[in-house]
Structure formats: structure tokens, C-alpha cells
Amino acid sequence: MEETPFPDVSTSAVDWQNSYIMIPNAYFYRDFGIIITGGKEYFKKTNGIFTADISSKLVTAKIEFIPFDDQGLNTSDLTMDVFDIICASWIRQVNQAEEAIWISTDDILKARGIKTQKSGTGRRGGYKAKTRKKIASEISTLANMWITIAAMQVVKQSLNKKNTENFIEKTPALIIVDKVEKENKKGKKIDYAWKFRLGDVFADSIFGKNRQTALLSNKAVEYNHKLHTWEKRLTRYLSWIWRNRQATGNYMQPFEIKTLLKAIQEKVNTKHPNRVKDRLEKALDTLQKDEVIAGWEYEKRHNEEKIGKKGWIKEWLLTKIVIEPPTPIFGQYAKIRKFKEKTIKKTAQKDDTLIGELNAIMQSENLSKLQLSEQIGISVDQLSQILTKHNRKKHAKTIDKIQRWFKQKDV
């Protein structure tokens, strides 16, 4: 029996061949993602409703999952993949918060890099019915997620002051306006495409006064949600933190290892702590290979001989790692740079020439900031500060060291 052809609906026009998608970067979007990927452990069930708190210093808020019929709560990294793709499609296509667009299971599967099965004898090509059904289930879950914000810290533009405003706003994460179904081989109707818009809480973060979006590598939604959770969550965290660091330009600020582990919701295996170290390093190597990051290294060389000895893990967790963003991140956020540059003005043509020479060397010799800083003998954070013209006087000694390196290089 042949499958019924899909109804002809106008689905999303996002070009998923690009390496990056644009997603919301509001703080509660990040918190929403942590709760969703963490699953049931963050929720408490009361009177049939699952509730999770996402309050912080900036916002008082909660997530509620209100099941439909016998629907259970089963969120994971895949759920957030679907939501990121939905948000990216919506941001790309709409011009106002109330506008709705179409998206299909096939759009989402294509965005995740899932290959269609080839047609064969007695078999149609395309995606498997059970694969489409799983995506439909994730969208149903998201449509039944409600976000309530009771208070939020906002900036009064005229006074440039932060004030907390108390108000109640409760909206679903996703508003389904219309949908298209298809029948499977058993004659059961399955959701295939949806006309949707983002709930007001997320829509306001895109079209409101405090609009902020972030670049997210496509790899975040392409990595397998069961096999590559470390890579997937690190990619999302770095996307969020780099967008926030845009305000100061301090992209190369090192991360404590315990901070990275907390960000991706991973704990140290006390019986086999070396496995955590190996897994983190493997994840970072993968991100570098896939160009999610330009490079990474320990801020200071740690003594490998200590690894495995009593108490080594505590010291390792406090060790710092420098992670360099890829070129597109610098390029995108340079357009919207807001931080006040404590630099010398046009009279400092000498410094501008220095920056040009450093950039030229990185380009001609295909060096990352990490590699160049190592050759010069300075920290990557110092090099980054020089290249962004940030607080130049503070780094006079570093500039002298760079200039001496240039002279030695020319010999």
C-alpha cells in the first residue's frame, strides 16, 4: 500500500546550507533551554501540571507543562533542537511579532542534517514515518509549554537605570495557528506541517525594546542528541556567552573547567574522574574540527604527571581553558559593538598599523589568535585586547613585546 502524498503546503524558506542560524538570546531563553534539555529532573508535578522555576537575579519566572490527554513529559536535547530551528525559521521570515509562518517535519529534519532514505523496490523515498512522528511529538510538547514571567529587570532608556517591573505575562512557548495532517499506512492521521508563531514572551525578546539575538552554529542542532550531548551543549553555551561578551569585546576570557561542566549539566564521576577530562578534551577537539571554535588550550600548562593521583581532580576543575571563537562571530558582533573604547584616537596611527600587521600575519599564515599569541609569547587574552583596541595604555608592555617580536621575525 502506497503512502498518501503530503499535502502541498508552503513551508519555511530558510537556507539551511548556511553554517549559522539566528536564535533569541534573552536570558530566559537560555534558562528555558537548560530546563528542556535537563528533562524531568527540573520539574515538579502538582495536580497533573509539571512546573519548573527559571527565576534569576534578572527575572522571576516559571515554566509549566500542561499535558494534553495522556501526554507525558519527555523533553531532551532533541526538543531544544526543534525549538532552535523553529525560532530561527521564524526570525528569518517574519517582520512583526504577530506574524505566523509554516514549517514541516521535513524542514526540521533537513535542518538537523538528517538524510532521507533512498527509494527502492516497493518503497518511497523520503523520511521514515516514525522519524516524522518523533518531530511532531516534540512540537506538541513545545506547544503545551507555558512561560509565566512575574517580574523582570528592565533598563529605562531615558534614565539608563535598571529597574524591576512587576507584571504577569503568561504565554505558550509556541502558538500553533493551523496545521496539516497526513494519513499513515494504518489510516491514522499524523501532524506533518504547522503554521505557527512564537509565544509573546519569546516574540517580545525579538521585537521588543531589549531585542537580542545570537549566532548559533548549525552543528548545535546537527549533533546527535544522544551521542554528542557534550558537543551540542557546549556549542549552545558558547553561542550565548560570546553574544554577551560582545558588550566588552572580551571574547578570549578563560573559562574555569567547573564552569563549563556546570553549563552543560555534567558532573564529575568520582570513581573515574579521568573520563570527564578525556571527554571534555574530546568534545573541544570535535568543536575545533567542525569549526564551531577556532581553537582551544589550557591557559597555563598543567602538570600531566599529577593526573590520576590523589586530589588531582579538584585542582583540574579550577584550571582555566581559553576558547577562541571562529571568525564569523567576530565579524557579526563587530557590527553591533557598543563598548566604550578606552583607546588613543586618530593620532595613534602606529597602533592601527600594528593591528593591521597582526591581522595580516594571521591571514597569510593561517594562524588563529591562540597560535599567534603562543608564537609571540603573550596570553591570548592580551592579544585579543590589543586587536580590539581595548584599554591600550594598560597593555603598553605587551605592545612593546609584540614590536620586538616583529623585529626578530624580520631578521
Quote the pLDDT of residue 14. Answer: 53
Quote the pLDDT of residue 108. Answer: 95
pLDDT: which is higher, 392 or 246:
246
Quote the pLDDT of residue 389. Answer: 62
Alpha carbon distance 106, 126 (integer Å): 9
| 353 pLDDT above the threshold of 80 | no
pLDDT: which is higher, 6 or 354:
354
| 4 pLDDT above the threshold of 60 | no
Domain-by-domain residue ranges, the chain?
20-223, 232-327, 340-410
| DSSP count for the chain of H helices, then E strands | 15, 13
pLDDT: which is higher, 341 or 372:
372
Per-residue confidence at 99, pLDDT binned at 50, 70, 90? very high
Which amino acid would we find at residue 234? L
pLDDT: which is higher, 346 or 289:
289
pLDDT: which is higher, 358 or 93:
93
Alpha carbon distance 131, 133 (integer Å): 5
Which whole number is the average pLDDT over 77-103?
A: 94
Helix (H, G, I), strand (E, B) or coil at 59: strand
Which amino acid would we find at residue 124? R
pLDDT: which is higher, 252 or 408:
252
Q: What Cα–Cα distance (Å) separates residue 211 from each residue in 26, 91, 345?
A: 8, 12, 31
Average pLDDT over all residues of the chain: 82
**What is the rounded end-to-end Cα distance, in angstroms, of the chain?**
77
Which whole number is the average pLDDT over 144-171?
A: 67
Of 53-62, 141-150, 236-245, 254-263, least confident by mean pLDDT is 53-62
Quote the pLDDT of residue 5. Answer: 44
Helix (H, G, I), strand (E, B) or coil at 386: helix
CB 73 within 8 A of CB 81: no
Per-residue confidence at 157, pLDDT binned at 50, 70, 90? very low
Quote the pLDDT of residue 393. Answer: 62
Beta strands 213-217 and 59-65: pairing type?
unpaired
Reported as a single tens digit per residue, the pLDDT across 245-291 is 988 888 999 999 999 999 999 988 888 888 999 999 999 999 999 99
| 123 pLDDT above the threshold of 70 | no
DSSP, res 181: E
